[in-house]
Amino acid sequence: MSAEAGATESGAAYPWPVGSATGVGSVPGGDVREAVRLVVGELAGFPHLPELPQRGVGADLIGRSAGVLVDLFAEVQPSGWRFADRPGRDHRRAVGWLREDLDALEEFTQGYAGALKVQLAGPWTLAASIELTHGDKALADPGACRDLAESLAEGVRAHVAEVRRRVPGAGVVLQIDEPALPGVLAGAVPTASGFGKLRAVDKAVVREGLRTVIGAAGVPVVVHSCAAGVPIGLLREVGAKGVSLDFSLLRERDEEEIGEAVEAGLGFLFGVVPSLPPPTPSNRVANRAATRGNTGTGARPLSDPAGTVRGVKTLWRRLGFRPEHLGEAVVVTPTCGLAGADPAWVRRALAHSVEAARVLHEAPEG
In the three-class reduction of DSSP (H, G, I as helix; E, B as strand; rest coil), residue 131 is classed as: strand
Return the pLDDT at 6.
Answer: 52
Q: How far from chain centre, in Å, is Cα 318?
A: 26
What DSSP string runs through 268-308? EEEEEE-SSPPPPGGGHHHHHHHHTTS-SGGG--TT-HHHH
For residues 99 and 66, the answer to whether their CB atoms sit within 8 Å is no
3-state helix, strand, coil in the chain (%, to 5): 45, 15, 35
Q: How many CB atoms lie within 10 A of CB 186?
A: 13
Return the pLDDT at 140.
Answer: 96
Q: How many CB atoms lie within 10 A of CB 264?
A: 13
Give the whole-angstrom CA distance, residue 334 versus residue 21.
9
What's the topology of domain 5-362? TIM Barrel (3.20.20)
Give the whole-angstrom CA distance, residue 348 versus residue 346.
5
Return the pLDDT at 280.
Answer: 62
Sign of the Cα pseudo-torsion (140, 141, 142, 147, in order): negative
Q: How many CB atoms lie within 10 A of CB 262?
A: 21
Domain ranges of the chain: 5-362
Return the pLDDT at 4.
Answer: 47
> Along the 366 residues of the chain, how does pLDDT read in single tens digits?
333 455 544 445 899 999 999 999 999 999 999 999 999 999 999 999 999 999 999 999 999 999 999 999 999 999 899 999 999 999 999 999 999 999 999 999 999 999 999 999 999 999 999 999 988 999 999 999 999 999 999 999 999 999 999 999 999 999 999 999 999 999 999 998 888 999 999 999 999 999 999 999 999 999 999 999 999 999 999 999 999 999 999 998 899 999 999 999 999 999 999 999 877 664 454 344 333 333 333 445 677 999 999 999 999 999 999 988 999 999 999 999 999 999 999 999 999 999 999 998 886 554
Decide the pairing of beta strands 13-17 and 5-7.
antiparallel
Give the whole-angstrom CA distance, residue 336 versus residue 208.
27
Nearest to 24 by CA among 247, 240, 253: 247
In the three-class reduction of DSSP (H, G, I as helix; E, B as strand; rest coil), residue 116 is classed as: strand
User: What crossing angle do the helices spanning 32-42 and 89-108 adopt, rounded to 10°?
Assistant: 40
Nearest to 311 by CA among 246, 267, 264: 246
Decide the pairing of beta strands 114-121 and 170-177.
parallel
